[in-house]
Structures are given as structure tokens and as C-alpha cells.
Structure 1
Amino acid sequence: MTFKILLTDYEFEHLQYEEEVFQESGLDIDFIKAQCKTEEEVMEKAKEADALLNQYAPISRRVIESLENTKIISRYGVGVNTIDLNAAKEKGITVANVPDYGMEEVSNHALALLLSSARKVTLLNKEVKKGNWDFKVCVPIHRFNEQTVGVLGFGRIPRRFIEKVKPLGFKTAAYDPFVSAADMAAVGVQKMDLDEIIGEADYLSIHVPLIDDTYHLINEERLKRMKSNAVIINTARGSIIDEKALSYALEKGIIAGAALDVTENEPVRIDSPLLTMDNVIITPHSAWYSEEAMVELRQKAARNIVQVLKGEKTPYALT
């Protein structure tokens, strides 16, 4: 039996890692590559596919209801906001991600954004290159042991991030309704509710998935509750923050800064006021990346498909 696997879209230069996994599986596989951008394009290509490998193409309810043979949708990455999970579950289709491939990379990137913000590295670098040799442009900077790093979410990545933050002397706190205070205390982290951590954190690092409940979780009202010296760090998903409200809060000095690897629109709009602000650091959704992480991501996403097509369970199933 030949299994049809559709790669809905991709931005990689080659597909060597996926092809090796499929070749080594022992299955007869027809690997179809596409560059779908719309629901209609996915529906046209995917109707008879046994499996979908997805990067950014929309796998909406409409798409899922059109699928005739699909057993699994595997997505490159942790987030699955391109896929309608409820529709897939109703149709009995397994949805899987790769939640552990970039744990070191994302936690390192969040740490780099934290340290760059705390020591105002990018601002100082910019001023020196303009000929301004004067540390006073970065006033004030405070000792780490006088400040609190708070995380929203306490899964794999924020736990690893906190492990790297604590030796630097920061106090640490976390908000996660699904993790007990005892579990947090066991690793030296104080559990706080959402309003408390927003009001207490000097650095607030976001590590929650983008779902209906977290869309614009950080909005105008919550930004106003933050400390005036607070910096918000986001390596999760852009739409967790209301970007218009963030721009306003930064312009008016309601908070001190932002360090973002993700934005509501990607690429970030060229007319975004965030691009003109010295107290904002923006990187191009690169926190996940290292050569090693990219290989791991692609191999594991392909293995999800092989396991399900063989009648096995993938450990990364979400439905």
C-alpha cells in the first residue's frame, strides 16, 4: 500500500531530513511537496492524502472536513495555531507537534533578550557607534538581585529559562494555573496569580501557547498594572500581546521596554512604531533556531507521521 504524504508548505532549502525518515520507515510513501498559502490550495492538494506535514498553511475546519483519508497532521514546531484542533478531533485525525526540539534555543534566546534589556546592550552599542561614549545614556540600571523575573506558563521552556536565570541572582515567580505551588516551590519559584505577577515582575517573559484564552492576554488594562520599569519579553506568539496597546504603553512610559522575537504580523509591519523605539528589541522569530534544533524538528515531525501510519502512537499527539 502506498501512503500519500503532503507537505503543505515549507521554507527549507532541501528536504533531506524528512526524506531520510520516510525512506528508513519501510513504508511505501509518495511524498508530495507543495507551497500552499490558502485553504483552497490545501484542499486541492490534500483531499486524498494519508498525512499532512504542515508549516504555515491554514488547516482550518473547512480544510479538515474536506479530507477523505487523512490520519495525521504533523506540524513543524510547538504551536499549532495553524490547525483547527477541535475539527481534527471530531474527525478522528491525530494532530501532533514537536514540543521539545528547541527548549535550549528558546530559553537561551529569552535569556539573551533579558540580559540585553537589563544591561541595555543594544542602546549602548548604538550610542557608541554614533560617537557617544557615555554610560549615562543607559541610566538607570539595577542589580539583578533586586529584581524579579516572572514567567507566564511553566512548561518545558520556561522551566529551563528559570534554571538559567536563577544563578544570576534574580528572584523568580511563575503564573500557570495547571502547575501547583508545591511543584514550583520545589525548584525555588514562587507561584503567583496573573494579576499578581503582572504587578510584581520587573521582567515578564511569555511562554504560553496562543489559544482563545491567551489572545491579547497582555492588553491595555494589564499593561497599565505593570511596573513603570518593567520589560516584557515574548518568545511565544505575537498575538498574546495587544501590539497597539504595547506601543502606546511604551510611548507613554507606562512600561520601560519590550524584547520581542514574535509580533502580531510577521514580518513586522515596516510602519510599526515599535521599530523606531530605542527601548524595544525585535528579532525575526529566530528563538527556535540552531542547526541542531532544525534537524531535530524536521526529523521528529516526519517521525510523527511514520508512527501513526504504522498504526502506532506518537508521544507528541495532541488529539
Structure 2
Amino acid sequence: MSPRIFIDGEHGTTGLQIRARLSERRDITLLSIPEAERRNPALREDMLNAADIAILCLPDDASREVVALLAGNDTTRLIDTSTAHRTAPGWVYGFAELERDQAAAITAARHVANPGCYPTGAIALLRPLRDAGLLPGDYPVSVNAVSGYSGGGKQMIAQMEDASRPDAISAPHFLYGLDLTHKHLPEMRTYGRLPRDPIFAPSVGRFPQGMLVQVPLHLDGVSAETVHAALAEHYDGQDIVTVAPMHESAALKRIDPTELAGTDRMVLHVFASPDGARLNLVALLDNLGKGASGAAVQNMDLMLQR
């Protein structure tokens, strides 16, 4: 019998994308609750207990309730796409390229926490530099980012796409998180190996999918070539996360945040001022690809290797 996969919350933005990725596959059996029955708790519990892997596309509290519900179940493995368990003990962080043994840890895991879209880009840039000793422990890190509006879920999608709504958003771009708190900060700090929270400035653009994450740096005595080499070595042999050659990045005049929309890839760039004193590290990805649904499917495939 093929592995049984249940998407709990398949009618939300992330769940719909995961379902679209899995619907044509013949190597798995996709368990599904008809939309008319999605609030049937008994049917949902049956599906959770029958699944080999359940992918949770739920709010934080609902994800915690599922974990409690399955406390006596030792067969269903979980991938949680919410923020509820990303830094929780006993959960493996689902960024397979984080370090050399991370993919193997995901393969063996019972519980996997899918990364957030913004942290995926930030950690991809920061972790190799911290591991290589290029980013001082006391460095005041800042992260600037813009995401497609699909990251805000169905309500924001409707606000952006339906101008007749009373709560419609007319701005072409807006900044938020102005109180410098954000639910993604704990995982950025934990997996970026930062001693304190970064200053994080997220924003939303008027495009459905796509993302740019920037980490600007002043690294005295550390060249752009050294930073690029650390990133290239860390991701050597990877096919989902790649590092653009420096000459290709240097030739760019602009980057379109939608360039990788519809893909599960992430491309990292290193930009430098002419004197080399200032750097801007950039991650380009799809907020629903490598930033959410694509990462969940990647983690599922790793878990199925066990």
C-alpha cells in the first residue's frame, strides 16, 4: 500500500498549493475530507489517525490541538506549517539545507516544523556565515523583505484582488511589523544562530507570489568573495538552493521578486559596493514555494525515505 498523506487544512492557501503538488502523484494515497465535511471532527480525527504523514495547514492553536489529539498515536508523523512548533523541543526544523545532516534528521523525524517564508531566506543567508565565523556574534543584524500578498492568506488575497470590498487594500506596497515584533523572529534567531533578535522589516507587494529577503552587512576585513565562497561551499551540490555566481549578480540592475514564482527554488546573491566595504545579501524565492508548500512537500519526500 502506498503511503497515506492527509492535509489538515487543505482548503487554505498553503494547503491548496500542497494538494495541487500532490494530486497527480501515484506513489502516495492522498486522504481528503470533502469541503462540506471539513468541520466534521470525527471524520477529521479518523483521517489524522489513518495517515502515515499528516501535513498541518492550520493556525497555531489548532496545530497544538492536533498534536495533543494524537498523543497516543505512535504511527502518524507530522509536518506542521504553522509557527507553533518551529523552535519547540522534539521538533526537527524542516529546512533541509540548514546543515550537512539536516536532511537525514528530517528523514528520521516523527515531527517536522516547516520553516516560515521570511526565515527561509534570512537563515539561508545568515547560517553559513555564522558557521564559518564570518559574522561576529555581536553583529546587529537587520533583515528587510517583501512578499507576495498570498502569504497573508485568503483574507489578504481578497483585500488585494477585490477593490469593491470595504477593507480593500489600495496601496501598491506596504510595510508592516512596525513595532519590531514578528512571529518569525524566534526561528530567525535560533537557526540563524544570532545572540539577539534581528531588526526585521517585512513588507507586502501587489503581486500574488514571490519574495525577496535582504541582509545588508558591513563586515570589516571580510571581502565579498569570502562571503560568496562561504555560501557557495555551504550549498554545494544542492539543487533547490543555489548561489548565483558573483559575475552574474554584478551584471544585474534590478531583481524581480516574482522571478521564481511557481517554483520551489531559492537563489542567493551577493552584491557589493565598488570599494567592497558594504554588502547586500539577497535571497530570491517564492513565498508559497520554497517558502511554504514546496518546502512541505520536500520534507514529506524526505520523511518517506525512512
| TM class, shorter-length | 0.3 to 0.5
Q: Who wins on radius of gyration, i.e. which is larger?
A: 1
TM-score in terms of structure 2 length: 0.38
TM-score in terms of structure 1 length: 0.36
